[in-house]
Chain A
């Protein structure tokens, strides 16, 4: 490659856009097969109860019903990413309102719904564990009496209702308190929130005569779903094929198996394809939302604003099954440390069972909650010490070569630049420009999840390039980014690249659309494949060009030598004759990040790989009468390492901020007595066009060592800082420090009244 980039760093239109604007792109919810039945799930109406009788005979007799299954039909298997605690159907005990108890398949949706209404379940209530306080109280009833019998990741620290306690210990916080001039202690809470993808979870399953099941689903992790399905169905993974058509958003909510197993089990029983699609009510009562939390944070500082110690505990209300809780509790401790130098740390994350839906992963799992606490408290400390919040942060942020909380050595740290540029763009010098108006800052760091990716790449005889990847495009344009990396490496245009993706049978393994990793990891696998293709192309071209391979280069769709050039198309044609065509695999596994194993326990995510750094700044007003927040300006400065496609990175930032503002100001899954009160999209308030401000994106580029061209993960980070940035701006505007999410207008007014009363 020579000179300016041809494809990367350019804001090219995503390759799947035409299909999406014309309605021709097929999503999982659109997928249908001839003779397909419709599946529905019968769910528990009790938060915690003994299921004494389940009668499905009336349901099975309804016209059009082709299958009814429950725990009695097997399989007796428990699954789960960290703790295998979740059965397919509740058998003796139901543990949350919404837990699957039975499933039906019928020739029409109406018949399936009628069958659900005809199922009879008799329950005897058990003591309920309805919130974190109840779960953690001495002598609390156990959500899982048999928790010790479950298979779990060995390093987890489990005890009763705690399905993991992750811990980071650095230095000695007692020494840190002694060195501190002031010690600050605060408590924060955050609400359970939903990812809010517009396409419900959907799956169509069909069995063939060889005993293979094919499942078309909108999962983010087809290979994980394949493995889980194989366990549940008690068949070899090679007998399970998962294909991902278009995905209408995921944000982490479509990582783990959702409805695929119900479709597969019903289809096996009925002998016909079955489609299962969730309703909005099911999404808001029985999906994988973000955990609500309680956070206790204690921080010591010197009078000149130097952090001496931090002790933090974050409790995740992970619901009836562990779900992502044990891992999320681990990641949280990394976030609680903040992107700050703090010599003494004692940080703990607890994942706690309650009788609610089991929570999962939502864009930067644990990030917004833990960051809300850390960055709110930084502003409280700044105000108490009379130090400008920007200055306090500048005195404590990590810089190049510093250690992360677990001892990893940080490199490509663009944090100071992010912080200064965000502050500049928001006009930080005038922090309180008018009565009721204020500005807030929040900073953070996040990981680029590694994991492995494989691709096959083929150069077609017309010179175009086929990229075959097991990755999944969930909307971020990450596969467009990876295709840009491939096109750049091969010296072709983005328009020359076509992508086939997300099929566990025909595409190579990929760790999946999670953790801001797809463009990063698939991009690197593409580079590896391109290097192999280059070797083959040069070997074939050298003789024709009369030049040694070392003298050749790939440029403008040709192999170029000192005395001439030959097109990739021609070489691809020749290779078809010479043998096998112009193909190459490429693989990538992110190198392990070294850390100090003595600092952690119960920790499944002890280092942030190729970490990104970011600063958010917001300028807002609070209505003196109503407490309503009006955002005038929102700025994000994010160190993306290298901007593969600036337009879609802006898109990630704008969308992440919008979601973050929803969590900050309006969104909450409201439970009362174990039941969700607002399981519809009118009462679960996601931001509309009228609620989201314009976002100014500043792309900071401190290239990392691992990612393609230095790129770091970009998808999750924009979701992390909005709660803290907004809380800090509200405090600046009206002096009300709100320590619980969502920050509703009501809370602002009540806090102001309490403060002035």
Chain B
């Protein structure tokens, strides 16, 4: 299949790549750009470990074509916070004990980010609904949900402080 040049806006940086039209965003992120914080597993949008943000929406990058991502703002876990700092969600996941093997965590955090951006003060039930597409096999989700609630409170408090 003939390759075509594309330009992707990832974590506020421009990236050039030469890809086949059927290449997924996940594959380009991981294989071409070395952004392996976005994880790979089922490749069928069933598990959610590959979740990234495209124009602020959480998408399964395993089924999202790289060519379609052109002109859109893509955020991966590597770009959620400036290097050396943690986003309130990342901090809350660490402090709540929400991380075990960690493989689902980048996708989980980005799914939570997308939801909190629209729903800054969610209930536990809403958080559970929002994260239902992200499988975790280690935690039983309890401390993940707790972390998202804690992060929401923290982010709201920070906004109020501003």
Contacts and interface: CB of A to CB of B under 8 A. Distances in A.
Nearest to B128: A689
Contacts of A648: 97, 100
A199 B144 CA distance: 18
Interface stretch (A16-24, A66-74, A407-415, A749-757): A16-24
Contact of A475 (B31, B77, B101): B101
B105 A659 contact: no
Interface in A618-662: 647-648, 650-651, 654-659
A110 to B, nearest CB: 9
A582 to B, nearest CB: 30
Given A651-B97, A689-B128, A689-B132, A198 B41 contact: yes
Contact of B140 (A26, A249, A655): A655
B84 to A, nearest CB: 9
Given A23-B38, A27-B39, A690-B132, A198 B101 contact: yes
A11 B86 contact: no
Given A30-B30, A647-B97, A692-B142, A475 B102 contact: yes
Given A25-B102, A681-B135, A650 B41 contact: no
A694 interface: yes
A682 B60 CA distance: 15
A654 B39 contact: no
A651 B138 contact: yes
B36 A30 contact: yes
The 6 A-B pairs with the shortest beta carbon distances in the complex, nearest first, are A23-B37, A475-B101, A248-B103, A20-B102, A658-B140, A654-B140
B47 A21 contact: no
A288 B86 CA distance: 37
A20 B105 contact: yes
Given A658-B140, A681-B47, 20 more contacts: A13-B94, A17-B93, A17-B94, A19-B102, A21-B90, A22-B80, A23-B36, A27-B39, A196-B135, A200-B41, A248-B39, A248-B102, A249-B101, A650-B143, A651-B100, A655-B100, A655-B139, A688-B131, A689-B128, A689-B131
Contact of A690 (B77, B128, B142): B128
Interface in B40-60: 40-44, 46-47, 49
Interface of B: 30-31, 35-44, 46-47, 49, 76-78, 80-81, 86, 90, 93-95, 97, 99-106, 109, 127-129, 131-145
Given A18-B94, A475-B100, A654-B140, A198 B44 contact: no
A680 B137 contact: no
Given A17-B94, A681-B135, A690 B129 contact: yes
B46 A682 contact: yes
A246 B140 CA distance: 20
B141 A13 contact: no
A251 interface: yes
Interface string A17-42: 11111111111011010000000000
Contacts of B127: 689
A730 interface: no
15 contacts: A11-B97, A13-B97, A14-B97, A20-B102, A24-B78, A195-B137, A198-B47, A199-B101, A246-B101, A249-B100, A655-B139, A659-B140, A680-B44, A689-B132, A689-B145
B142 A249 contact: no
Contacts of B138: 249, 475, 651, 655
Given A681-B47, A689-B141, A29 B40 contact: yes
Given A30-B30, A651-B97, A654-B142, A249 B37 contact: no
A280 B46 contact: yes
A689 to B, nearest CB: 4
Given A280-B46, A658-B141, A21 B132 contact: no
A20 B90 CA distance: 9
A23 B77 contact: yes
B93 to A, nearest CB: 5
Nearest to A473: B101
Using C-beta atoms within 8 Å of the partner chain, give the interface range for chain A: 35 or more
Interface string A28-65: 01101000000000000000000000000000000000
A369 to B, nearest CB: 19
Contacts of B42: 280, 680-681
A249 B37 CA distance: 16
A14 B138 CA distance: 15
A22 B145 contact: no
B77 A199 contact: no
A597 B64 CA distance: 60
Given A198-B137, A476-B100, A23 B76 contact: yes
B11 to A, nearest CB: 11
Nearest to B95: A13
B78 to A, nearest CB: 5
A248 B142 contact: no
A27 B40 CA distance: 11
Contacts of B43: 279-280
A251 B136 CA distance: 13
A177 to B, nearest CB: 42
A124 B94 CA distance: 56
Contacts of A695: 140, 142
Contacts of A21: 77, 86, 90, 93-94, 99, 102, 105-106, 109
Determine which residue in A477, A654, A690 has the highest number of CB atoms from chain B within 10 A of its CB, and name it.
Answer: A654
B39 A199 contact: yes
A343 B68 CA distance: 70
B90 A659 contact: no
Contacts of B145: 689
A538 to B, nearest CB: 36
A17 B132 contact: no
A172 B104 CA distance: 52
Given A17-B99, A689-B145, A23 B78 contact: yes
A198 B39 contact: yes
A197 interface: yes
A30 B34 CA distance: 9
A651 B90 CA distance: 17
Contacts of B99: 14, 17, 20-21
Nearest to B31: A32
Nearest to B147: A21
Interface in A245-273: 246-251
A197 B101 contact: yes
A250 B101 CA distance: 9
A22 B81 CA distance: 8
Contacts of A247: 101
Most chain-B CB neighbours within 10 Å: which of A195, A477, A692? A692
A650 B98 CA distance: 11
Contacts of B41: 198-200, 280
A30 B26 CA distance: 12
Contacts of B103: 27, 197-199, 246, 248-249
